[in-house]
A = this chain, B = another copy of it.
Amino acid sequence: MNEDALIARIVERLRGVDTSRLALGIGDDAAAWQPSRSNRSVITTDALVEGVHFTRDVMSARDAGWRALASNLSDVAAMGARPVLATVALGFPPGTDPAWVLEAYDGIAALAARARCAIAGGDITRAPSIVFSISVVGEVRPSNLKTRAGARPGDVVAVTGPLGASAAGLAVAADRPDLAARPEYRSALAAYRTPEPRLREGRWLAASRSVRAMMDVSDGLSTDLGRLCTASGAGAVVERVPVHEAARAVAAAVNASAEAWALGGGEDFELLVAIEKRAFPHLAVRFRARFGRELLPVGRITAELGVRRTDGAPVAPSGWDHMDSPSANPSRSGLARSAGP
C-alpha cells in the first residue's frame, strides 16, 4: 500500500467524525477553519511514544490512538475550552502492519467523535518506533479562560475525581496480565487505556468566577500541584489524597502503594482546581448534581511557598520527569508520561 492509498484508507476510518467546523480538511497543504468571532483560540501539543509511553503488548492500536488524543483533549479541558480540531502526526517503523495504523485511527476517531473534535490533517512518516504527535485547537470565551495562575491563599484545592487508577492500570497491563481478566481491575485498565478527558467538567468549572486556577493532572498530583502553586506564586497544604478504589485494589494485589500512584502516577487526566473557599461547598453540590460525581477536596492554597502535608512534611514532585533515567521511576515499568513547554 503506498502513502496516498494509506491516507485514503485513514480518511475512510475518520468518516464518523464531524467535520462541519472545517472549511478545508485532510488532503491539502493545510486545513482551514473559521474561528468563532467571540472566542479566544487555544492550542496544545502532546506526543505518545512507543517504548516510552506505551508498548504494543500492553496497549492495543485502538487504545494507543485514543490515549494519544485524550491527553491533548485533557489540556483543552483544563483551559475551560471546547475542542475544535486536531492534527495527527504519526510515525511508524517500516514493516508496520497497515492494519495497526488504521486501528490506531479508529481509536482517534472514536474519541474525536465523542468530543466533537474534527481531525483536520496531519503527517505520516517513517520512524524508529511508533510516535503519535497530536495538536488540538479549542475555543473558549475570553472571560472563561482558566490558567494555572490565579490561585490565592485560602482557596480550596480540589480534583474532579480520585487518582491513581491509570498507574494501577499500567501495573496490571505491564506486570500482572493474569489479573487483567478480573472485573474488579477493569476500571483501572480503562483509566490507563481509554481515559476520559473532563471536557464538560472543564467548561462548567471555567464558567465559574470562583474557580481561580485550573490544570489537568497529567504528571501526578505532587508534580502538578507544585506547578499550579509556582504559577500562582503560592504554596499548598495537602490534607487528603483522593485515591481511586481501583488503585487500592490493584495496589493490594501487587504490593504497591496506591497513594504513591495517586501522588506520582500521573495520567489520571482529572482536573485540578483552586476554588474560592466560601464558594466551594455550593460549587461541590452543584457539581455533583450536574455530573453525578464528586468534586474532591485535596487541601488548600497557602501564602507560604512549597507543597506540604498538614504535619509540615514536604510533598516532593514524584511525577515523571523526561530528563530522568528510566530507573528513577521503577514503578512505571519503564513507561513514562508526557510533558513539556
Judge if A32 is at the interface, Cβ distance under 8 Å.
yes
Interface centre among A120, A121, A126, A216 (most CB of B within 10 A): A126
Given contacts A33-B40, A323-B2, contact A131 B127 (CB under 8 A): yes
Assembly CA distance A52 to B126 (angstroms)? 7
Interface size classification for chain A: 35 or more
- Dominant secondary structure at the A interface: mixed
Let me know if B324 and A121 touch, CB within 8 A.
no
Which residue of B23, B51, B140, B216 contacts A40 across the interface (Cβ within 8 Å)?
A: B23
Taking CB atoms and an 8 Å cut-off, the chain A residues in 130-155 that contact chain B are 131, 133, 135, 137-138, 140, 142, 145, 147-149
Chain A interfacial positions (CB closer than 8 Å to B): 1-7, 10-11, 23-24, 26-35, 37, 40-47, 49, 51-53, 74-76, 78-79, 81, 85, 87-91, 94, 120-129, 131, 133, 135, 137-138, 140, 142, 145, 147-149, 215-216, 227, 231, 321-326, 336, 338-341
A-B interface, 4 closest residue pairs, ranked by CB to CB distance from nearest: A133-B133, A123-B340, A35-B35, A30-B44
* Cβ contacts A to B, 7 pairs, < 8 Å: A11-B341, A32-B40, A47-B125, A47-B133, A49-B91, A49-B127, A137-B137
